[in-house]
Amino acid sequence: MSKLVTIYGGSGFVGRYIARRMAKEGWRVRVACRRPNQALFAKTYGTPGQVDPVFCNIRDDASVLAVMTGCDAVVNCVGTFDRGGKNNFSAVQSQGAARIARLAAQQGIPALVHISAIGADVNGASLYAQSKGEGEAAILATYPNAMILRPSVIFGNEDGFFNRFGAMARLGPFLPLVGAQTKFQPVYVDDVAQAAVKGIKGEATGIYELGGPDVESFRAIIGKMLTVIHRRRLVLNLPFALALIPATLLDFAVFATGGIFSNSMITRDQVASLRRDNIVAPGAKGFADLGITPTGYASVIPEYMWRYRPSGQYAAIKDSAKNLRKV
């Protein structure tokens, strides 16, 4: 019988790419998520019965254990940007990660891969970074041979980075950025999935920081994105002190409404994160150590960012029509 991998958060952005790759490798795949009925698309990644979406709540031992039983490897892709609520930083990125590792060690699961983030540090500047660091520490304490992947900002068709700013660019002549000079190293989601496969198959362990071939400022990256979507916008750099004002007001609105209002714009924790560059640290193990050549974002984003062009999918046709000779 083929081997089995359980991917916690397997219906999410990164998880679905790992699920697809493991199905192509011939493995059976359990896609563990909170809403399996919304993850039925994952079944198409393999042959009938090969990929199975199942319910799991990583805040519960019994739930995590139930979908782990009989596995040859587990992958944790679950993460959050929510500071409050039941699925907050601590519950998901610290306690949830620790729970998966502890139970995997108890069950003798041969391989564990954990998706973390560059900047993960128990003493980090943001609560997000701290919870990621706590999760890593807890994993290594109970499962020292785990593979931990720390990607920079991840891009791909379903990403929350380029899609977010592409949508913002349609709203007006200005595009405000917090930390415009902060450096990023965008990494392609399928390259991250390819790295995870190495850990699942037992070909690599340890901590790897994953960044693409381009190290550029936030402003430069967004500038190239604007070129791709054929929009001219004035990019405004909001000072951190100024950005804290709306972030604080929005965070307070979430608190005052008991979470009914959702702050999807900018939080105080995100402002703190943007104060530091999000790039691979000197000397850190990375793609080269895994034998993977990373993909640049400039060659990929035109494939899905066309939707934000003024003419959408017809932009190329309109550009071509300009070259027709008038009779």
pLDDT digits (tens, 9 = 90+) for 74-86: 999 999 988 878 8
CA distance 190 to 212: 11
pLDDT score of 324:
67
Is residue 70 very low, low, confident or very high in pLDDT (cuts 50, 70, 90)?
Answer: very high
Return the residue matching tokens 């936030």.
Answer: 218
- Encoded tokens for 137: 């520490």
Measure CA 244 to chain center.
Answer: 24
- What does the mean pLDDT of the chain come to? 94
Statement: residue 24 has pLDDT above 80: yes
pLDDT score of 326:
61
Return the residue matching tokens 């000079």.
Answer: 181
Bridge partners (DSSP) listed for residue 324: none
H or E stretch at 227: helix 218-228
According to DSSP, the β-strands at 216-217 and 183-184 are antiparallel
Burial level of 320, CB count in 10 A (0-12/13-18/19+)?
exposed
Q: What is the DSSP letter of 313?
A: G
Find the helix packing angle between 218-228 and 162-169, rounded to 10°.
60
What angle (nearest 5°) sits at the alpha carbon of residue 62, between those of residues 81 and 74? Answer: 65
Mean pLDDT along residues 258-272 = 86
Mean pLDDT along residues 84-94 = 89
- pTM score, two decimals? 0.94
CA distance 2 to 119: 37
Domain spanning 4-157+184-214+278-295: which CATH class is it, in words?
Answer: alpha beta
Mean pLDDT along residues 166-176 = 95
pLDDT score of 186:
98
